[in-house]
Amino acid sequence: MSERTLVLIKPDNFRFPTGRPGNVIDFFSRTGLYIVGIKVHRMSVAEAAEFYAPVKEVLRTRLKDVVAAKAKVAIERELGFKVSLQEEKQLGDLLGPAFGDNQFDNIVKFMSGRTPSESTPEQIAQPGTEKSIALVYEGVEAVRKIRDVLGPTDPSKAPPGSIRREFGQTIMVNAAHASDSEENAQRELAIIRVAENNFRRSVEEFYGKS
């Protein structure tokens, strides 16, 4: 069965004038899939918040242990008394959701250039300051093939030769995003609206019409 999946070449590839965006796309070409849509996109704060909404609750709950451990170390170092296991858990319950919300805001800012709290009501829906390239790949097992080339979210755990191992830096600054299922691809495509297919117009605006 043929599938369609979304890829976002993330803003970290555009911070400096380099060939990195093209190199990342070259890696994806190993899959043998067809590019059927491409768009230069500046994600708004509202789009970034909607796009990554499924991640928000995960961040609020799964980071509790990390926050608790860091808070325990900081308190013991700065205040000079031991924190019990029960108190450490309470710290995670108290601070975990707030830390998760902060991490989510960092993702939104990384993708759009602003956090919701830094934006006026008018700016929330306006195109952001960070640039991405959105691509739609089509073919048999497109979702799996793209994610195999991309590698795990954490670049340090990605295998050699994968995009995130070669170009990624951190879990957030990891070169590219790819849909993890056909259902999520459909949801994400509805947000990014790649069908606008503005790549040619963007190239012409930069280089001029031939």
Residues 6+ positions from 65 with CB-CB distance below 8 Å: 92
Q: How distant, in Å, are the alpha carbons of 5, 13, 50, 121, 204 from that of 185?
A: 5, 22, 13, 28, 29
Q: What token pair was written down for 202?
A: 């963007």
From the CB of residue 185, how many other CB atoms can be counted at a distance below 10 Å?
Answer: 22
Give catalytic status of residue 177 as yes or no: yes
Beta carbons of 10 and 177 less than 8 angstroms apart: yes
Q: Out of 27, 71, 177, 199, which one is annotated catalytic?
A: 177
Q: Sheet with 2-9: list strands edge to edge.
A: 34-41, 132-140, 2-9, 176-178
* 132-140/176-178 β-pairing: unpaired
Q: How distant, in Å, are the alpha carbons of 10, 34, 84, 105, 154 from that of 173?
A: 8, 26, 35, 14, 9
Cα torsion angle, 97, 103, 107, 112, sign = positive
Catalytic annotation, residues: 177
